[in-house]
Amino acid sequence: MKRIIEVDPWKVVETSLHPEENRLAESLMSIGNGHMGMRGNFEETYTGETHEGTYIGGVYYPDKTRVGWWKNGYPEYFAKVLNAPNVTGIRVVVQNEELDLNTWNVMEFKRELDMRHGLLRRSFTAENGNGEHVQVNVTRFFSIAHPELVAIRYEVTPINFSGTISFQPFLNGDVRNEDANYDEDFWEPVHHEVSEQAGVLTMKTRKTEFEVSAAMRTAVDGGDVSIQAMDDQEEYIDNVMDVAVTEGQPVTFYKYVAVTQSRDYDSAELADKAQGFVTEAFEKGFDHLLQEHQGAWEKRWKKADVTVGGDAEAQQGIRYNIFQLYNTYTGDDPRLNIGPKGFTGEKYGGSTYWDTEAYCLPFYLGTADPAIARNLLIYRYNHLDQARANARKLGLEGALYPMVTMNGEESHNEWEITFEEIHRNGAIAHAIWNYTNYTGDTAYLADYGFEVLAELSRFWASRVNYNSRKDRYMILGVTGPNEYENNVNNNWYTNRIAAWTLEYTLGVALFLERQHGARYYELLDQLGLSSSEFDQWKDIISKMYYPYDEEAGVYLQQDGFLDKEIMPVADLEDKHLPLNQNWSWDRILRSCFIKQADVLQGLYFLNHKFSKEEKKRNYNFYEPMTVHESSLSPCVHSILAAELGYEEKAYEMYVRTARLDLDNYNNDTEDGLHITSMAGSWLSIVHGFAGMRVVDGTLHFNPMIPEAWKDYSFKINFRGHLLKITVTHDETLIEQEEGTPLQLVLNEETRTIEAPKVATP
Ligand code: BGC
């Protein structure tokens, strides 16, 4: 564990510069507003170790695939989350010496993320080779009130000299992706224009032709400005502005930037739009923009905050996770999704994995308006045609959603993942169930959901094969959620979620027939569904093969799992861990060690179908072999452990989830944050410790509390009710902040939660 930040309930604070860990700090200090975001890079030049990264939602690059041996069916490209033009840069020259914390003597340094208000702040005192001292305070935010806007306040005080400080705000389109497969430049210039304290730069991505315009305006408070030069190059514009400064008197520099993109506006008006937005921002001024931004965060926290009493680390962890999720996805644009690294790094190319449905959806269901979770479903609905084409490409029926995508097409090409991790289709069906079960919005099934479900079911029906000797259906050659096994036969999770999808689809068909008859027959017609296809699905459900070991009483992760040498991770010497950094792939595949929840993922998803005893046996068998080398792993274990009464384990796994990045557990946070697994921290508290489930439209809670905590509380939006749940060691208090009286089940007893006493505005 490597911790470079302080523990604080609302902040993430780095109190000294860590040149050797700067990339890690940059990841941790990332901020965004759901539409764009960036790593915690400095505004001024830094010649030390850094990974400059700015990312804009939906703007990607189809990088040329790099594989040794091409296999039929591979996608043509590997999508890259694109490093976008640097819009926050301000070079600062103090008495002819360029400010650079790598070469200057840094006397004090603090970089902090203020999660309550959505701000990144820095303050430092540094001295150049001539002994000139400056004290600097910087505040920046990506506005959540105006999603196209970034604002920076950069205040410098000359401590021991009077003279000149030169500010050189710039927009730079000459940026590269560190992980480009062939070191190509992904951008080309379109338009640039600069004037005194203003400028606009438009760049276009090659191949995909996304255009992005950034317009800047600047202002100075506390010193006379003279413009010395204006750079106006194809991919780079700046102003060189000298400000006369007086010893001890601060000078404040403001940079406002508006970013527009061609997915939202016509290319012809892109630059004008950006200039219009930035002018408005400039006229409002920094304080006003800050107030709007902070107000919006306050409103968000009112519904989404989780408190933990008596455990500062756990408190910081959960707030950090909620904060970063909302920095990544706000749900107002159904074309966007939640990338595993959000706007904090390039690794993982592609924005959408099964992570969205399996982990993130319930978080947004609980903390935000249902329209947001619905947008996540609509995203997949809109990609149904591409998913059909994807199935066809593999010679299959129905729809196979991509493992990784930017626009509905598969954009990842490792055969064992792209072709074999087909369990992702199950998560998409499960998300439809989750959404309708939670919100009660069954109209969704008639309008959109059934089409998706029917095509998912068709896929499973064409992907299974019937083994006449055993009179069972098999699913061969797959990779389950545990990516440390490839090309296995009858992965229990995949078989189970496939059969469940068929069952659920048939259930939905029956519901539609009864409740939405006309629409139902229209859908049958449109999809060409007949009763013989339904009969085939029923046959598959009743004859699906599930590997099981009678002696241990557990579902087998796949055929032949028990042929392996079974041993717990605890018997491995530390030097072997993490396996993915110490063992050959071959050795990993042959071992019994499990990357992430697999059978247990199924027990979590289809929780109500299994007895506690069954869950216990499987948990006891698989957890000791699990190395949790996927960030998605600990939370599922925490939730199940809480349900099974394994308090210590539930707590250990919660901390591992919630502080995964803050404490750099997997030693890879420098590449970016693990955004999708952050939803797992919330799930660990709400589904895990509080035991929340929705059964037939009714909320159930079965809370426990970790010993180390004094209390915890969270809020959920549920069918027009805003509930606050507080759990202490003595009691569980459920209050209603908005809504009419609500019946729910607490510790297996039905209760009525009264409407709020004072009407909420
Ligand atoms: C996990 C996958 C996950 C992906 C992106 C991998 O390490 O094994 O389940 O979808 O990361 O988060």
One-character DSSP codes across 479-500: --S-TTS-SBS--HHHHHHHHH
CA of 50 to the centre of ligand 1 (A): 26
d(CA 681, CA 111): 25
15 falls within a domain: yes
The pLDDT of residue 662 is 98
Verify whether ligand 1 is closer than 6 Å to residue 340 (CB atom): yes
3-class DSSP state of 310: coil
**Ligand 1: nearest atom to the Cα of 348:** 5
pLDDT of residue 658: 97
CATH number at residue 127: 2.70.98.40
Span from the CA of 154 to the centroid of ligand 1 (angstroms): 39
Q: Is residue 37 part of a domain?
A: yes
Report the alpha-carbon distance of residue 120 to residue 117 in Å, rounded: 9
> Is the confidence at residue 450, as pLDDT, over 80?
yes
Work out the average pLDDT over 603-615: 97
Would the pLDDT of 761 be above 70?
no
Question: Do residues 477 and 535 both lie within one domain?
Answer: yes
Check pocket membership of 596 for ligand 1, CB cut-off 6 A: yes
pLDDT, tens only, 201-258? 999 999 999 999 999 999 999 989 999 999 999 999 999 999 999 999 999 999 999 9
Ligand 1 nearest atom to the CA of residue 676, by list position: 12
In short, whether 630's Cβ falls inside 6 Å of ligand 1 is: yes
Shared-domain flag, residues 324 and 421: no
3-class DSSP state for residue 180? coil
Q: Determine contact, residues 297/118, Cβ cutoff 8 Å.
A: yes
Domain boundary among 627, 660, 693: 627
Percent of the chain having pLDDT more than 90?
A: 94
- pLDDT at residue 263 greater than cutoff 50: yes
Q: Is the pLDDT of residue 97 over 90?
A: yes
397 is a domain residue? yes
pLDDT, residue 760, reads 47
Average pLDDT on 99-116 reads: 98
Kindly state if the Cβ of 676 falls inside 6 Å of ligand 1: yes
Q: Tell me: do 600 and 697 sit in the same domain.
A: no
Alpha-carbon dihedral angle through residues 616, 621, 627, 628, given to the nearest 10 degrees: -30
Q: CATH number, domain at 500? A: 1.50.10.10
What would the pLDDT profile of 30-64 be if each residue is shown by its tens digit? 999 999 999 999 999 999 999 999 999 999 999 98
Q: Which pLDDT belongs to residue 759? A: 52
Query: Which residue's alpha carbon is nearest to atom 3 within ligand 1?
Result: 355
Residue 253 tokens read as 């520099």
How confident is residue 66, by pLDDT bands cut at 50, 70 and 90? Answer: confident
Would you call 183 helix, strand, or coil by DSSP? coil
Question: Is residue 71 domain-resident?
Answer: no
Q: What is the pLDDT of residues 459-495, one digit of tens each?
A: 999 999 999 999 999 999 999 999 999 999 999 999 9
- Known binding-site positions for substrate: 354-355, 595-596
Q: Is the pLDDT of residue 179 over 90?
A: no
pLDDT, average across residues 274-286: 98
Per the domain annotation, does 350 fall within a domain? no
* Domain identity same for 618 and 656: no
CA 674 to ligand 1: nearest atom: 12
* pLDDT tens digits, one per residue of 722-742: 999 999 999 999 999 999 999
Q: Is 355 close to ligand 1, i.e. is its CB under 6 Å away? A: yes
Domain end, chosen from 281, 302, 323, is at 302
Among 424, 483, 678, which residue has the most ligand 1 atoms within 8 Å of its CB, making it the best to mutate?
483
Same domain, 662 and 604: no
Whether residue 548 is found in the same domain as residue 696: no
Domain boundary residue among 601, 627, 653? 627
Which residue range is the domain that position 318 belongs to? Answer: 305-332+634-761
Statement: residue 359 has pLDDT above 60: yes
Q: What is the pLDDT of residue 343?
A: 97
Please tell me the distance between residue 354's alpha carbon and the centre of ligand 1 in angstroms.
8
What letter does residue 609 receive in the DSSP assignment? G
- Domain shared by 718 and 586, yes or no: no
Q: What is the DSSP letter of 441?
A: -
User: Is 92 domain-assigned?
Assistant: yes
Whether residue 341 contacts residue 671, with contact meaning beta carbons closer than 8 Å, is answered with: yes
- Please identify which of the residues 52, 148, 235, 483 carries the catalytic annotation: 483
Could you identify the atom of ligand 1 that is nearest to the CA of residue 354? 10
Provide the token pair at 107: 């006397």
Co-location of 323 and 393 in the same domain: no
Residue 571, in any domain of the structure: yes
Q: Does position 400 have pLDDT exceeding 80, yes or no? A: yes
Distance 630 CA to ligand 1 centre (A): 6
Q: Is the pLDDT of residue 260 over 70?
A: yes
Q: What was the pLDDT predicted at 78?
A: 87
The verdict on 638 and 620 lying in the same domain is no
- For residue 694, the domain's CATH number is 2.60.420.10
What is the pLDDT, as a whole number, of residue 102? 98
Amino acid at 389: A
Range from 181-185, 312-316, 369-373, 482-486 carrying the lowest mean pLDDT: 181-185
Q: Does the annotation mark 193 as catalytic?
A: no
The domain tally of the chain equals 3
Same domain, 589 and 620: yes
- Cα(559)–Cα(557) distance, rounded to whole angstroms? 7
Q: Which residues pair with 194 in a beta bridge?
A: 199
Q: Closest Cα to atom 11, ligand 1: which residue?
A: 630
Same domain, 326 and 424: no
Statement to judge: residues 37 and 125 lie in one domain: yes
On the question of pLDDT at 169 being above 90, the answer is yes
Closest C-alpha residue for ligand 1 atom 7: 630
* Euclidean distance between CA atoms 254 and 701, whole angstroms: 49
In a domain, 444, yes or no: yes
